[in-house]
Chains A and B, each alone.
Chain A
Amino acid sequence: MTLALPAASSSSSWRQPSILPGFGLSLGITISALSLVVLIPLAALFLKAASAGPADIWAIIASPRTQAALRLSFGAAAFSAIVNAIFGLIIAWVLVRYRFPGRRLLDAAVDLPFALPTAVAGISLAAIYAPNGWIGSLLAPFDIKVAYTPLGVMVALIFIGLPFVVRTVQPVLEEADIETEEAAALLGASRLRTIFRVILPGIVPALLTGFVLAFARAVGEYGSVIFIAGNVPMVSEIAPLLIVIRLEQFDYAGASVVAMIMLIVSFSLILAINAIQAWSRGRLGHV
C-alpha cells in the first residue's frame, strides 16, 4: 500500500471538506491495521506463490491430488449452495409469510451456523451422520453412507451455508409489495402464476447473491468438513485440507499455489456479487 497517511488538511482535493475532526487519525488507524493484518500478509501469499516459477506452479496445479481436491471443494460447494438456495428460499418464505407457533425461535435458530464454532459443528455432524449415528443408522439399511464420503463433505457445507440464502432473501420478501400480488390476482393470474411470474423474478437477485455467498463460504470451509469427510486423498480431501497438509510437509510453495487459486476464485465471486447487485439496482431499483 502506497497510500500515504493524510494530514488532517481540509484542502486536499480527494475528500470533501467537513467540520468534523479525526479524519486523519481514524483513516490512519484503519489503513495501518488493514495493511498490517490483511493486505501485506495476503500480498506475501501471492509473492510466495509467484516465486515458485511458472513451471512449478503448473506442476502443482496439474497434479492429480490438487485437481481432485479442487474438484471436490468446488463441486461440493456448488452442490450444497444449490441445496441451500432451494431450502433457504423455502425457509425464508415460511418465516416471512406464515404465522405459526415457534416462528421467532426458528428465525433465530437459522443463525446457528454463524454462531456455532465450526469444529463443534464438524464433530456433531460426524457423530449423527456416522453409520451408527442418529441419522446415519437410518440411512445405513439403504446402503447410503454419508460420513467419511464426499456426501459428508456436502452435509457439512450445507450446514455452514444455510443462513446465507435465508438472510439475503428474507429482507427482500419482507419488503416485497403485497399489492403487486393483489394486482396479479385481480388481472386473473392463478396463485402459481403469481408466484412464478411475479414474486420469484423479484427475488432472483437476492437469491443469486445468497447462492454466491454460500458458495464462497463453502469453498473455503475447513473446520466443519474435516471431521466428517474422512479425508481420503483423491476422494474426500478438500482443498483447504490439502493446504494444511502441504504446510505440515513444509511445502510452502505447494500450499501457496493452491491457496492462490482459491483466493482468485473468491475475489471473482465478490466481483460477481457486486455485478449482480449493480444490475439489480439498475433494473429493479433495489437489491
Chain B
Amino acid sequence: MSETRLHEAGPIPVYRTDRALRDSIWIKALLLTLALTFLAFFLFLPLVSVFVEASRKGYEAFAEAVTEPDALSAIRLTLLVAAIAVPFNVIVGIAAAWAIAKFNFRGKSLLISFIDLPFSVSPVISGLVYVLLFGAQGFLGPWLKANGIEIIFALPGLVLATVFVTFPFVARELIPHMQALGSSDEEAALTLGASPWRTFFTITLPNVKWSLFYGVLLCNARAMGEFGAVTVVSGRIRGVTTTMPLHVEILYNEYNSVAAFAVASLLAGLALVTLTLKTYLEWHYADAIAATKRH
C-alpha cells in the first residue's frame, strides 16, 4: 500500500537539507585553496628550497661542505651540547613531573609557570642573561677570570644557554600524562612491598615512556637547532665554539650559499626525522601523549 503511494509521488524537487548543515562545495574549495596556498608559500617552498640550494653545485660541493674540518667540528659540538643538555633536562623534567603530578602542595601552579617561563623568553635574552652573569664584565666575570674558568665563549656557556631554552620540553609532556595516570599504580606497588626506586623504574617509567620519548624528541630538536641563545654566548670562534646553526650563519654571511645550505640541509633532515617520529607517536600513542601539541 505504501509502496504504491511512493510511486504515485513521482519525481519531486528534492531540497538539499545538508546545505544548512555542511559547508557548500564552493566554500570547501575556497578554504582548501587558501589553506594549501598559504602552506605552500610559508612551509613547503622554504623547506624544498633548502635541499634545492644545497644541491645546486652537485654532490661533490655538498659533500665537501659537510666534511670540511670546520663543519665536522660544528657537527661534533652540536652533538656534544645536545648530549649534555638533553639528559640534564630529562632528569630535571622527570623530577619536576614527579613532584608536580604526584603531590599536592602550595605554590604548585606558580612552579609550573616558572618551568614554562623559558618558552616566553626571547632566545637572545636566554643567552644574554648568562653573559651578564659570567661574561668578562658580568657579575661573576672577574672571579671566573681569576680562577681560570671559561663559561662564556666556551662549551659551558653553549650548554647553559641550550638548557635554558629547552628547559620546559620534557616536563611539559610528562606532567599532564602523569597527572592523568594518577598515583594508584605506584601505591599498589609500594603496598606490595616494592622499594621506591623499583617502583619508579618498573611502574612509573614504563607507564610514561612514550610521552617521555616525545618530550626528548622535541627537546633534542630544539637543542640541536637553537640559534639565538647560542649566538650570544658563542663568540663564534670558527671551528671551536660554532654549532651547526652558527656555522650555517657564518657560511651564509661569507656568501658561500651552497655550503650554508648543505649544512642547513642536515638540520632540515633532522627536522624531518623529528616530525616523522613525532607524527608516528601521535598516531600510535595518542592516549599516552599529552594533548598539548604546541611548542
Tell me, yes or no, whether A and B come into direct contact in the complex with CB atoms closer than 8 A. yes
Mark A residues whose CB is within 8 Å of B. 3, 14-16, 18-23, 25-27, 29-31, 33-34, 37-42, 44-45, 47-48, 87, 90-91, 93-94, 97-98, 100, 104, 106-121, 123-125, 127-128, 133-135, 155, 158-159, 162-164, 167-168, 171, 181-182, 185, 189-191, 194, 213, 216, 219-223, 227, 240-241, 243-244, 247, 250, 252, 255-256, 259, 262-263, 266-267, 269-270
B215 interface residue per 8 A CB criterion:
no
Is the Cβ of B46 less than 8 Å from the Cβ of A121? yes
Contacts of A267 in B (CB 8 A): 120
Contacts of B122 in A (CB 8 A): 219-222, 240, 243, 259, 262, 266
Which residue on A lies nearest to B190, using beta carbons? A19
Is the Cβ of A159 less than 8 Å from the Cβ of B46? yes
For chain B, residues 105 to 124, give those with C-beta under 8 angstroms from any C-beta of chain A.
105-107, 111, 113-118, 120-124
Is the Cβ of B139 less than 8 Å from the Cβ of A112? no
In the bound complex, what is the Cα–Cα distance between A21 and B98 (angstroms)? 10
In the bound complex, what is the Cα–Cα distance between A42 and B130 (angstroms)? 9
Partner of B274, one of A23, A115, A167, A185: A115
Nearest CB on B from A222, distance (A): 4
Is the Cβ of A45 less than 8 Å from the Cβ of B19? no
**11 A-B residue pairs with CB within 8 Å:** A29-B92, A30-B115, A37-B167, A91-B35, A104-B279, A114-B295, A115-B274, A117-B225, A120-B268, A219-B122, A263-B121
Is the Cβ of A135 less than 8 Å from the Cβ of B45? yes
Contacts of B240 in A (CB 8 A): none
Contacts of B88 in A (CB 8 A): 33
In the bound complex, what is the Cα–Cα distance between A111 and B214 (angstroms)? 14
B131 interface residue per 8 A CB criterion:
yes
- With A42-B129, A190-B20 in contact, do A23 and B113 touch (Cβ < 8 Å)? no
Is the Cβ of A266 less than 8 Å from the Cβ of B121? yes
**B230-250 vs A, Cβ < 8 Å mask (1 yes, 0 no):** 011000000000001110110
Is the Cβ of B124 less than 8 Å from the Cβ of A240? yes
**B91-109 vs A, Cβ < 8 Å mask (1 yes, 0 no):** 1101110111011111100
B264 interface residue per 8 A CB criterion:
yes
Contacts of A270 in B (CB 8 A): 113, 116, 120
Is the Cβ of B271 less than 8 Å from the Cβ of A26? no
Is the Cβ of A97 less than 8 Å from the Cβ of B231? no
B44 interface residue per 8 A CB criterion:
yes
Is the Cβ of B124 less than 8 Å from the Cβ of A123? no
B226 interface residue per 8 A CB criterion:
yes
Those 9 A-B pairs whose CB atoms lie nearest each other, nearest first:
A220-B122, A117-B225, A15-B105, A223-B227, A41-B129, A222-B228, A29-B95, A119-B245, A115-B271
Is the Cβ of B120 less than 8 Å from the Cβ of A30? no
Is the Cβ of A244 less than 8 Å from the Cβ of B232? yes
Contacts of A15 in B (CB 8 A): 103-106
Which residue on A lies nearest to B280, using beta carbons? A108
Contacts of A194 in B (CB 8 A): 20
In the bound complex, what is the Cα–Cα distance between A94 and B37 (angstroms)? 13
**B29-52 vs A, Cβ < 8 Å mask (1 yes, 0 no):** 001101110110111111101100
- With A37-B160, A119-B249 in contact, do A134 and B95 touch (Cβ < 8 Å)? no
Nearest CB on A from B85, distance (A): 10
Which residue on B lies nearest to A262, using beta carbons? B122
Nearest CB on A from B215, distance (A): 13
For chain B, residues 230 to 286, give those with C-beta under 8 angstroms from any C-beta of chain A.
231-232, 244-246, 248-249, 252, 257, 260-261, 264, 267-268, 270-272, 274-276, 278-279, 283
B24 interface residue per 8 A CB criterion:
yes
Mark B residues whose CB is within 8 Å of A. 19-24, 27-28, 31-32, 34-36, 38-39, 41-47, 49-50, 53, 88, 91-92, 94-96, 98-100, 102-107, 111, 113-118, 120-125, 128-133, 135, 137-139, 160, 163-164, 167, 183, 186-187, 190, 196, 200, 218, 221, 224-228, 231-232, 244-246, 248-249, 252, 257, 260-261, 264, 267-268, 270-272, 274-276, 278-279, 283, 291, 293-295
Is the Cβ of A222 less than 8 Å from the Cβ of B46? no
Is the Cβ of B278 less than 8 Å from the Cβ of A26? no
Contacts of A120 in B (CB 8 A): 50, 225, 245, 248, 264, 267-268, 271
A20-B190, A124-B46, A241-B124 are known; give 14 further A-B pairs, CB within 8 A.
A14-B105, A14-B106, A15-B103, A26-B96, A38-B167, A44-B129, A44-B133, A94-B32, A100-B32, A191-B24, A191-B27, A227-B252, A243-B122, A269-B120
Is the Cβ of A109 less than 8 Å from the Cβ of B39? yes
Contacts of B44 in A (CB 8 A): 109
Which residue on A lies nearest to B17, using beta carbons? A185
In the bound complex, what is the Cα–Cα distance between A83 and B88 (angstroms)? 37
Is the Cβ of A111 less than 8 Å from the Cβ of B245? no
Contacts of B45 in A (CB 8 A): 128, 134-135
- With A22-B196, A94-B35, A266-B121 in contact, do A115 and B114 touch (Cβ < 8 Å)? no
Nearest CB on B from A99, distance (A): 10
Nearest CB on B from A286, distance (A): 12
Which residue on A lies nearest to B261, using beta carbons? A123
- The CB with the most chain A CB atoms within 10 A, among B53, B95, B129, B139, is that of B129
